Amino acid sequence: MKLVQVCLMVVVASASVWAEPVLYNGGFEKLDLNGIPSKFKYHANDEDSARNRDWTYTPLAGVTRFDGFPGGFAAQDGVNMGLLQQESEIAVTIEDFEPGKEYEVTWYEAGRKFNESRGGGTLAVVMADANGLENLVPLGAAHVVSNFNQWERKSGRFTATAPVHRLRFSHLVGKDGQGQPLDVTTFIDHVSIRAVSDGAPSN
Ligand SMILES: [Ca+2]
């Protein structure tokens, strides 16, 4: 094989790797919660969140270990999972999309059994523009999460319209007799993304 052929193969291989969008910290494992007595953290934003390299969390969203929130259960992967309590959102900016190409986002979700008597929260998963405010494409319908302490795999597809999009997990709950949001929590874990056309197995 000629040197030029080898070089071309290396270039092609590199291009195919770097063209794929990367979802950092899809399993919420980056944060070590062992040093926190409660073993969970609301509003778990860090410097990578500000750099669009990790999730952002609204004040009642965050990360918990499997043994953090009371009545917790095993994570889908690793030891941590994302938590969405009452009205809250976990979102992340993802780069390197190829406009016109179809992608699939896969995640696992479960309601917190501790709150089962109050019904589940409603989860809406949306792919938006880079700012997260426009061109909202639902990844499946918004739905009540009624599988408590039991992971359910979900997925949704969308076609990229720009190189950068924002993935949003938004949580809504009902109101109590005083009009206050019910204390209901939904967990998410093992979020991943892939190009549909590459034929790679979903996980
Ligand atoms: Ca995890």
Could you tell me the residue range of the domain that residue 108 belongs to?
3-198
Neighbours of ion ligand 1 (CB under 5 A): 27-28, 75, 77-78, 80, 189
Residue 183 domain-assigned (yes or no): yes
Residue 94 domain-assigned (yes or no): yes
pLDDT score recorded for residue 178: 95
| Total tally of structural domains belonging to the chain | 1
Ligand 1 center from residue 192 Cα (angstroms)? 11
**By mean pLDDT, which of 36-40, 61-65, 172-176, 195-199 is the weakest?**
195-199
Residue 126 domain-assigned (yes or no): yes
Residue 133 domain-assigned (yes or no): yes
> Rounded to 5, what percent of the chain is helix, strand, coil?
15, 35, 50
The Cα–Cα gap between 186 and 44 comes to: 16
- Residue 174 vs residues 70, 98, 121, 129: alpha-carbon distances, Å: 21, 38, 8, 28
Q: pLDDT band at residue 5, thresholds of 50, 70 and 90?
A: low
Residue 168 domain-assigned (yes or no): yes
Cβ atoms of 116 and 191 closer than 8 Å: no
The Cα–Cα gap between 137 and 159 comes to: 9
Residue 151 domain-assigned (yes or no): yes
Ligand 1 center from residue 86 Cα (angstroms)? 21
Determine the average pLDDT of the residues in 49-71: 94
Residue 179 domain-assigned (yes or no): yes
Mean pLDDT over all residues of the chain? 90
CATH number at residue 53: 2.60.120.260
Residue 203 domain-assigned (yes or no): no
